[in-house]
């Protein structure tokens, strides 16, 4: 075996040894060991976005101006009974300006144990009762922007530009004039001596929305 042959064999063995060595792997392979970690961080952000998106409602749970799912303001009582099975409704009543009016408690067909939605009727022309207001306490119901019961007030303020919060009947509520939606706030998270009419800038962003009024 010549000297050149021996030298070539030695170089070949060295190259093969380098390929088998952990420190001799290519940068691409080394970078690959970091990718799962970077991917995990990305997955966390994606999970947060996915969680937000997952809270967007289906058509039956969509809150929009003057409407909640298939329910719309000013619909007649007979129209309600035509679109909602009687088994989901419980007749009740409520007080408004010293008078008693009929109302219904609506159970969700998909989640019967979820908080009931309250449908408040009022007497219209010819003594026909029409839907005056819808009170939502079920977190399944959301606006197209994903805001609903359980959302932080700061999210509603940012999306809808709310300016005032006031005591209205039994609720401490922020009214969105454009949406005709009132966001009922958890007063327990506010100072005990808070007023009955406040600027939304005085409301902590983390204050929870505990109900939604559509009127």
**C-alpha count within 13 angstroms, C-beta hemisphere, residue 3:** 0
Q: What is the pLDDT of residue 27?
A: 34
Q: Does residue 22 lie within any of the structural domains? A: no
Q: What is the mean pLDDT of residues 174-188?
A: 88
Q: What is the pLDDT of residue 180?
A: 84
Q: Does residue 25 lie within any of the structural domains? A: no
Q: Does residue 194 lie within any of the structural domains? A: yes
Q: What is the pLDDT of residue 3?
A: 43
- Asked if 119 and 181 touch (Cβ cutoff 8 Å), the reply is no
Which tokens sit at 62?
């969509």
- What is the distance of C-alpha 5 from the center of its chain? 74
Q: Does residue 3 lie within any of the structural domains? A: no
Per-residue confidence at 182, pLDDT binned at 50, 70, 90?
very high
Q: Average pLDDT over the chain, rounded to whole?
A: 79
- Looking at residue 124, which CATH number applies to its domain? 2.60.460.10
Least confident of 32-36, 174-178, 182-186: 32-36
Q: Does residue 134 lie within any of the structural domains? A: yes
Range of the domain at 77: 59-214
Q: Does residue 116 lie within any of the structural domains? A: yes
Q: What is the pLDDT of residue 192?
A: 80
Q: Does residue 44 lie within any of the structural domains? A: no
Number of structural domains (the chain) is 1
> Which residue has better confidence, 165 or 124?
165
**How many whole angstroms separate alpha carbon 150 and alpha carbon 184?**
10
């Amino acid at each position: 075996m010549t000297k050149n042959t021996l030298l070539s064999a030695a170089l070949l063995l060295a190259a093969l040894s380098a390929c088998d060595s952990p420190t001799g792997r290519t940068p691409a392979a080394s970078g690959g060991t970091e990718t799962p970690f970077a991917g995990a961080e990305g997955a966390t952000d994606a999970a947060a976005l996915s969680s937000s998106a997952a809270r967007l409602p289906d058509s039956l749970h969509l809150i929009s101006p003057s409407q909640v799912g298939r329910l719309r303001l000013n619909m007649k009582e007979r129209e309600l009974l035509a679109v909602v099975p009687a088994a989901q409704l419980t007749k009740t009543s409520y007080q408004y300006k010293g008078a008693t009016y009929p109302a219904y408690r609506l159970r969700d067909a998909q989640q019967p144990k979820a908080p009931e939605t309250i449908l408040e009727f009022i007497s219209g022309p010819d003594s026909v009762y029409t839907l005056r207001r819808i009170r939502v306490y079920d977190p399944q119901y959301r606006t197209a922007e994903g805001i609903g019961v359980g959302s932080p007030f700061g999210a509603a303020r940012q999306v809808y530009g709310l300016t005032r919060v006031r005591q209205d009947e039994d609720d401490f509520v922020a009214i969105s004039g454009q949406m005709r939606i009132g966001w009922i706030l958890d007063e327990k998270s506010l100072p005990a001596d808070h007023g009955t009419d406040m600027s939304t800038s005085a409301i902590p962003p983390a204050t929870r929305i505990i109900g939604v009024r559509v009127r």
